Amino acid sequence: MGNAESSQTLNNRFRSDYCGLLNPAREQSTVRLAGWVHRKRDHGGLIFIDLRDHTGISQLVIQPERHELFAQAEHLHIESVICVEGVVVPRAEGAINPKLASGAIEVVLSSLTVESHAQPLPFPVADEVQTSEELRLKYRFIDLRREKIHENIIFRSRIIAAMRHYLEAQNFIEIQTPILTSSSPEGARDFLVPSRLHPGKFYALPQAPQQFKQLLMVSGFPRYFQIAPCFRDEDARADRSPGEFYQLDMEMAFIEQDDLFAILEGMMQHLTTTMSHKRMTQFPFPRISYKEVMNRFGTDKPDLRIPIEIQDVTDLFKDSDFKVFSNNTIQDFCVKALVLKGRGNESRLFYDKADKRALELSAQFGPAYNGLAYIQFREEGPKGPIVKYVLNELPDLKAKLDLETGDVVFFRAGQWAETCKIMGGMRNYFADLFTLDNDELSFCWIVDFPMFEYNEDAKKIDFSHNPFSMPQGEMEALETVPSLDILAYQYDIVCNGIELSSGAIRNHKPEIMYKAFGIAGYSREEVDTRFGHMIEAFKLGAPPHGGIAPGVDRLVMILRDEQNIREVIAFPMNQQAQDLMMSAPSEVTLTQLRELHLKVELPKKDEGKK
């Protein structure tokens, strides 16, 4: 396990040394150790105990001559907490255990105190056998004893310390912002907290300290950071913890996008080189525009390690007789291709499964979608359901996509964003065909996000990201460029297909803000009502500023090769946002409700339960 305590062992009545750090240098010394009984091997005439603390394991030996000690040890249960005293001795030649850091020595006990008798555990600590997550979460305090997750939590602490260290050296100031604040009209669903002193009114837990950090810029703190808890009442995913998560929230005044990129790249380089053995594929991180990333990878969080890219073949089908394609060559529509080298001779099942996946990916855009067209380039010629319709285009296609015998190309035609997303989903689906190097960190910046997007449901223009982002070209752009073509100083940092953070250069000019909100359909009065305090602040002397807020949990996840965010959080909730250990959420007493002026009205289908 960890070795942070190496030189500074606390010497008291419980221990003088740590199990994992004990070595031949301490031979013949009398030491005190304290920890958990990891394993016990009772030979009848001799007992071995593997004692575990958070640094590792030491082997204790109990000899039969010490009758009282022996009797005590015989009845010890695994995972009991004991404090022992004994002499460090070298192990015999053949008895050295190379698998143990302390394997060259052992401790012959002279005394043993049981601090806590452990009953049989619901699941083993020493054997890290797969255990249902439900059980692990219910007994999280036991689960956290297990080496892998214990190390994750220690690593998390160290990386947060490294972040602080780095940012403080860069003159950042850490400032705490409120946890009880007000509900914000945009973004995710809020967690609400009823107010006792103000009947009928509610606090909200912050989705992020977004407005506070911008106001701190107005207050004249040029560089702010915080390991900030963020609360969002939205459903969980493997990389999205339910309810709450932590961001390294940052904001800086008098900076431009490039300044921020340099600082964050510097920090990421520092963290990855000092905290892991992983390599950054490219440094500084490549920058890819939103439009380009959608065209090439079909997602705004691409895993650049996957060695295939989506290609555009719209132009080839402008005059095609194949209407399925040629109908999609007009403005805002496209025909996209994805080539798999050497996969043209797979079984029918291979293509059918791919087709099925494409249908799943299409489902989110509506029911009336067909599957995935493909052409296999085989020895005997091109093969596939659509070959006969595109014979005219085949030569150009082969030239443009560099197709050879043995390859297969998949097609998708339709509205631009949808088609890109479906093909991006297929690119991820095919990622399994390649071995991705987990020791490679492929960071990139996604830049030039559109400021606005068209909301089909509401039939109006919406902000596509943070409404407080500065439009590129500022007021002039808002007045002269078609709204949907305006770009924002809005960026994401992505690593290996995981979005670490969004950020933006903010809009600190009230007039530009009113104009931008106007394009999204908000009157001056509405903006004043909803964001009055922000606008007000920006009217009273606001510096240009911008920031970002990398997800701490996600960064730890990537650096520790974890597929699930709950593996790097000490006490996470389950997918249904329940804390199985603490039984949260839970009902409260009528008295508590009355005090808060609340009355619970359950949904009908829940009536009659319990």
The Cα–Cα gap between 183 and 194 comes to: 12
For RNA, give the closer residue by CB, 161 or 363: 363
- Residues from 272 through 301 that contact RNA (CB under 7 A): 300
Q: What is the DSSP string of 169-226?
A: HTT-EE----SSB---SSSSPPPEEE-SSSTT-EEE--S-SHHHHHHHHHTT-SEEEE
The Cα–Cα gap between 16 and 596 comes to: 52
Please select the residue that binds RNA; options are 43, 348, 388, 599, rule is CB under 7 A.
Answer: 43
- Residues from 321 through 350 that contact RNA (CB under 7 A): none
For RNA, give the closer residue by CB, 7 or 132: 132
Q: How far is the CB of 57 from RNA (least distance, A)?
A: 8
The Cα–Cα gap between 474 and 86 comes to: 73
- Residues from 444 through 463 that contact RNA (CB under 7 A): 449
Instruction: Confirm if 568 and 556 have CB atoms less than 8 A apart.
Output: yes
Backbone torsions φ then ψ of 278, nearest 5 degrees: -75, 155
Instruction: Confirm if 294 and 417 have CB atoms less than 8 A apart.
Output: yes
Query: Which residues, including other chains, have CB under 8 Å from residue 442's CB and lie 6 or more apart?
Result: 280, 281, 282, 303, 304, 305, 495, 496
Instruction: Confirm if 285 and 267 have CB atoms less than 8 A apart.
Output: no
Please select the residue that binds RNA; options are 16, 29, 39, 431, rule is CB under 7 A.
Answer: 39
For RNA, give the closer residue by CB, 97 or 219: 97
For RNA, give the closer residue by CB, 465 or 515: 465
Please select the residue that binds RNA; options are 55, 59, 295, 496, rule is CB under 7 A.
Answer: 59
The Cα–Cα gap between 181 and 242 comes to: 20
For RNA, give the closer residue by CB, 64 or 541: 64
Please select the residue that binds RNA; options are 96, 192, 391, 588, rule is CB under 7 A.
Answer: 96
Q: How far is the CB of 8 from RNA (least distance, A)?
A: 27
- Residues from 425 through 444 that contact RNA (CB under 7 A): none
Q: Which stretch binds RNA (CB under 7 A): 11-19, 91-99, 313-321, 409-417?
A: 91-99
Q: How far is the CB of 311 from RNA (least distance, A)?
A: 23
For RNA, give the closer residue by CB, 78 or 431: 78
Backbone torsions φ then ψ of 492, nearest 5 degrees: -120, 150
Q: How far is the CB of 300 from RNA (least distance, A)?
A: 7
Strands 105-116 and 56-62: parallel
For RNA, give the closer residue by CB, 122 or 199: 122
Please select the residue that binds RNA; options are 7, 67, 94, 602, rule is CB under 7 A.
Answer: 94
The Cα–Cα gap between 326 and 321 comes to: 7
For RNA, give the closer residue by CB, 244 or 265: 244
Q: How far is the CB of 599 from RNA (least distance, A)?
A: 21
For RNA, give the closer residue by CB, 49 or 537: 49
Distance of CA 157 to the CA centre of its chain: 16
- Residues from 100 through 139 that contact RNA (CB under 7 A): 100, 103, 106, 120, 122-124, 127, 129-135, 137
The Cα–Cα gap between 590 and 598 comes to: 9
For RNA, give the closer residue by CB, 312 or 499: 499
- Residues from 227 through 246 that contact RNA (CB under 7 A): 232, 234-240
For RNA, give the closer residue by CB, 70 or 325: 70
- Residues from 158 through 217 that contact RNA (CB under 7 A): 187-189, 207-208
Please select the residue that binds RNA; options are 72, 442, 464, 507, rule is CB under 7 A.
Answer: 464
Provide the residue type at 501 as one letter.
S
Backbone torsions φ then ψ of 294, nearest 5 degrees: -70, -40
Q: How far is the CB of 353 from RNA (least distance, A)?
A: 13
Q: What is the total count of residues that contact RNA (CB under 7 A)? A: 71
For RNA, give the closer residue by CB, 139 or 389: 139
Q: Which stretch binds RNA (CB under 7 A): 93-101, 155-163, 249-257, 521-529?
A: 93-101
The Cα–Cα gap between 91 and 94 comes to: 8
Q: How far is the CB of 468 from RNA (least distance, A)?
A: 11
Please select the residue that binds RNA; options are 13, 24, 27, 41, rule is CB under 7 A.
Answer: 41
**E strand or H helix that includes residue 279:** strand 279-280
Cα-based distances in Å from 249 to 160, 201, 223, 441, 537: 12, 28, 11, 22, 20
Q: Which stretch binds RNA (CB under 7 A): 61-69, 393-401, 432-440, 531-539?
A: 61-69
Ramachandran sector of residue 44 (left: φ over 0; alpha: ψ -120 to 50; beta: rest): left
Q: How far is the CB of 475 from RNA (least distance, A)?
A: 22
Please select the residue that binds RNA; options are 13, 30, 64, 437, rule is CB under 7 A.
Answer: 64
Backbone torsions φ then ψ of 452, nearest 5 degrees: -125, 160
- Residues from 527 through 586 that contact RNA (CB under 7 A): 549, 564, 566, 574-576, 578
Q: Which residues of 328-364 are buried (b: 16+ CB within 10 A; e: fewer)?
A: bbeeeebbbbbbbeebbeeeeeebeebbebbeebbee
Instruction: Confirm if 102 and 21 have CB atoms less than 8 A apart.
Output: yes
- Is 269 a binding residue for RNA by CB under 7 A? The answer is no
